[in-house]
């Protein structure tokens, strides 16, 4: 694989890592059933004043809810990825995401060809690199149980197309 191709793939992977993550959230559930979900990174300030929960967002929007009407206020501290199955283009899937012990990669291809699978840590180190013989439509699993917790990029190259994605390793 050429150096330019690797650089482009890693850049695309980095963008996907940043865009695909959700910030930690705060959910305000009111007695009437209204549920307001607010990303913590959008909140400028939060205070309780005169029986109200007052939230000032970074864009200048104020929100106020009477504490009498609040059924619950929850903070979600786990950062996650939007979908458990990540489609890396139309022919590659990576799951589960987040993963603890194993990740599985499915490559759907009509022609018999080897698949180069490379996994890169966010600091740019290649932590896994294997040229897998034709796997058809059979899933290929990788043991990640001893890896450090964090975000990893995946590059799948079947010789004609390069697919990039990411997953989160949890403990």
pLDDT digits (tens, 9 = 90+) for 26-61: 888 888 888 888 887 788 888 888 888 888 888 998
The CA-to-CA distance between both ends of the chain, in Å, stands at 33
For 87-116, the pLDDT digits (tens) are 445 577 888 889 999 998 887 766 667 788
Task: Report the pLDDT value the prediction gives residue 137, as an integer from 0 to 100.
Answer: 66
CATH T-level fold of 25-76: SH3 type barrels. (2.30.30)
Give me the long-range contacts of 33-39 (CB less than 8 A, separation at least 24). Answer: 36/63, 36/65, 38/63
What is the domain partition of the chain in residue ranges?
A: 3-21+81-169, 25-76
For 132-161, the pLDDT digits (tens) are 876 566 788 899 999 999 999 998 887 777
Predicted model pTM:
0.49
CA distances from 21 to 8, 29, 76, 144 (A): 21, 23, 14, 21
Task: Report the pLDDT value the prediction gives residue 85, as an integer from 0 to 100.
Answer: 42
Establish whether the linkage from the previous residue to 3 is cis, with ω within 30° of 0: no
**21 has pLDDT over 50:** no
Task: Report the pLDDT value the prediction gives residue 136, as an integer from 0 to 100.
Answer: 61
Q: 3-21+81-169: which CATH architecture?
A: Sandwich (2.60)
Residues in the chain: 171
Cα(153)–Cα(17) distance, integer angstroms:
8
Cα(122)–Cα(28) distance, integer angstroms:
34
């Amino acid at each position: 694989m050429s150096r330019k191709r690797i650089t482009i793939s890693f850049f695309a992977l980095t963008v996907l890592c940043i865009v695909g993550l959700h910030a930690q959230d705060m959910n305000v559930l009111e007695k009437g059933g209204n549920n307001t979900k607010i990303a913590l990174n959008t909140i400028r300030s939060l205070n309780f004043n005169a029986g109200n929960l007052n939230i000032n967002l970074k864009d200048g929007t104020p929100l106020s809810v009477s504490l009498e009407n609040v059924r619950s206020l929850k903070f979600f501290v786990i950062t996650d990825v939007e979908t458990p199955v990540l489609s890396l283009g139309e022919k590659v899937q990576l799951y589960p995401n987040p993963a603890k012990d194993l990740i599985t990669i499915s490559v759907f291809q009509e022609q018999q060809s080897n698949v180069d699978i490379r996994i890169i840590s966010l600091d740019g180190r290649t932590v896994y690199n294997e040229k897998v013989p034709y796997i058809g439509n059979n899933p290929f699993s990788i043991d990640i149980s001893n890896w450090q917790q964090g975000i990893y990029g995946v590059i799948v190259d079947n010789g004609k197309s390069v697919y990039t994605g990411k997953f989160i390793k949890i403990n």
